[in-house]
Amino acid sequence: MPTMNQAVSNPVIDPVIEVDRLQFSYPGTGSRILHGISFTIARGDIFGFLGPSGAGKSTTQKVLIGVLKGYDGRVKVLGEEIRDTRSGYYERIGVAFEFPNFYSKLSVLENLKLFRSLYTGETEEPIKLLEQVGLADAAHLKVSELSKGMKMRLNFCRALLHRPAVLFLDEPTSGLDPVNAKIMKDLILERKAAGTTIVITTHNMHAAEELCDRVAFIVDGQIKLIDSPRELKLRQGESKVRVEFMEGEIRKSEDFPIDDLAQNERFLQVIGRHKIETIHSLEASLEQIFIDVTGRTLT
Amino acid sequence: MIRYRTLVLNDLRQIRMDPLLMASLLGPLAVIAVTRFGFIPLSDWIERQYGFALAPYSGFAATFLLLTIPLLPGTMTGLLMLDERDENIMSYYSVTPLTRRGYSVYRLFLPTLLSVLLSAAFVLFSGITESRSENIYALTLLALEAPCIALFLAAFASNKVEGLALSKISGLLFAGPVVAAFIPEPWQYAGMWIPTFWPAKCYLLGVNQEPLAALGVFGVGLIFHLLLLTGLSRAFLKRID
């Protein structure tokens, strides 16, 4: 297994986000949270920051969205150095925090209209966005009457009001049941298809695996690894397939190298003579790779 | 401007839905109306019944009632800010073109403006004040008290319930005019740490036709209020960071 102290991402064509040796300490604390991290994110990509609580992924996101400007290093989003950005920056990026924050006594539509009025550029019709996320019927409900899944969709909706070029999503599937999590993932993939660059912060490996073009593992303020989930899984996994089959009344399992599988006599014998229950390739799971590379779990 | 118009409309909607906030806004108008139509009849009645004349104390009564005016929009704003802090809406504003700074300016400007307009309405229409140029000193200091009260609640209360409890403490501000009106000099300057002492003193010096002294007290009071506003702003920002 690779043991990298500081991963360096491959050169990216048409980068939207460029971060070079980013360091950050919260004022007055003295302890450094980010230790010189570097990465780039390409236009139209979904990029995931993965790491346990306190690893520095939220701090990285706060720097990228311009909330923390007292950093060292270089951080450019859409060509602008973050420490020099002004209010116009927020016309170009959209943010959805982990916990949906709305005026709970106002209706869904009233909330969206209020936040829409803060933008000077072109904006979406709130009701159209609500239709896209399946909330049109809830438009006149008070936010306090919505379920967690509906609030998360509304949160996502709000971040899209001003057609941002870059979207920052913090734990977009957090606390959602499988049905709502699937809806949210589909919505994110729709935005990607529309050309939006998306940065996700999460500790949900499955969501990252399904959504992200590339992921970065952050631990102790350092990026330990950056690559596409598929590449990571193939590279770090075993090039084998595992077959589970019944031999009479006994369930058995055997592994075979993927190379020249069609010429593997034992494999052909097993699949030809026995009742097959499962066949799986043994690529590593993202979670296992994370544990192997960082020595940490995601809790 | 459109964004501020929507924010104002949103505030009005919130105020309409919350009787407490509604009372905070209508309260000053009620104070003006009650003073206008109630003070002189009440004063006459007390004089007839008990032989005690209120008229010589109308300066004190005016300052006492005047200071309720910034207290109410200030408290209302403080409670709105606590709601927005509780619901994490402040942090969302900081990632919109409004920005955190724009949000804070808007939030503090509105009660200041309300205080200016309503205090001026009190001076003009309550019927117990004299129209004097020194009144501008008192109105300026009172206008600065509204954002101070809002920031005090938003910085030191953990939630809206605590905010309501803390707003009761702001009742101590009524001590300002009492000290300025009834405690002899120089002892009354022991009460200079009470913010409302300064506008009350300015107003009373104006009534006593001491314009230079009123100007001096206004200068010191202005510095005191600006320092207070700065300190409370810092405490508030520290709280939301």
Cβ-Cβ contacts under 8 Å, B3 against chain A: 117-118
Residue A137 included in any domain: yes
Count structural domains, chain B: 1
A77, A172: one domain: yes
Asked whether the beta carbons of residue A113 and residue B17 sit closer than 8 angstroms, the reply is no
Task: Please state, for a pLDDT cut of 70, what percent of chain A lies above it.
Answer: 94
Cβ-Cβ contacts under 8 Å, B97 against chain A: 87-88, 90-91, 118-120
pLDDT in tens, B159-210: 888 888 888 887 788 788 888 777 787 887 888 888 888 998 888 888 888 8
**Pick the residue with more confidence: A92 or A26?**
A92
Residue A299 included in any domain: no
Q: b/e map of A158-185 (b: 16 or more CB within 10 Å)?
A: bbbbbebbbbbbbbbbbebeeebbebbb
Asked whether the beta carbons of residue A67 and residue B94 sit closer than 8 angstroms, the reply is yes
pLDDT in tens, A113-122: 999 999 988 8
Mutate to test the interface with B, among A86, A117, A166, A167 (most CBs of B within 10 A): A117
ipTM of the complex model? 0.82
Residue A52 included in any domain: yes
User: Would you state the pLDDT for residue B176?
Assistant: 80
Contact A93, A164 (CB under 8 A): yes
The residue range of the domain holding B78 is 2-240
Handedness of CA B44, B46, B48, B53 (dihedral sign): negative
Residue A293 included in any domain: no
The values of phi and psi at residue B112, to 5°, are -65, -45
Which one of A236, A251, A267 terminates a domain?
A: A236
CB neighbours of residue B180 within 10 Å: 29
A83, A176: one domain: yes
User: Would you state the pLDDT for residue B41?
Assistant: 85
A19, A61: one domain: yes
Count structural domains, chain A: 3
The residue range of the domain holding A246 is 238-282
Distance from CA of B93 to the nearest CA of A (A): 9
Query: What count of CB pairs under 8 Å joins A to B?
Result: 61
A119, A175: one domain: no
A30, A123: one domain: no
Which CATH number do you get for residue A216? 3.40.50.300
User: Would you state the pLDDT for residue A244?
Assistant: 94
| Chain B CB within 8 Å of residue A90 CB | yes
Q: What is the mean pLDDT of chain B?
A: 86
Residue A292 included in any domain: no
A75, A175: one domain: yes
Asked whether the beta carbons of residue B92 and residue A110 sit closer than 8 angstroms, the reply is no
pLDDT in tens, A195-221: 999 999 988 888 888 899 999 989 889
Residue A22 has pLDDT above 90, yes or no: yes
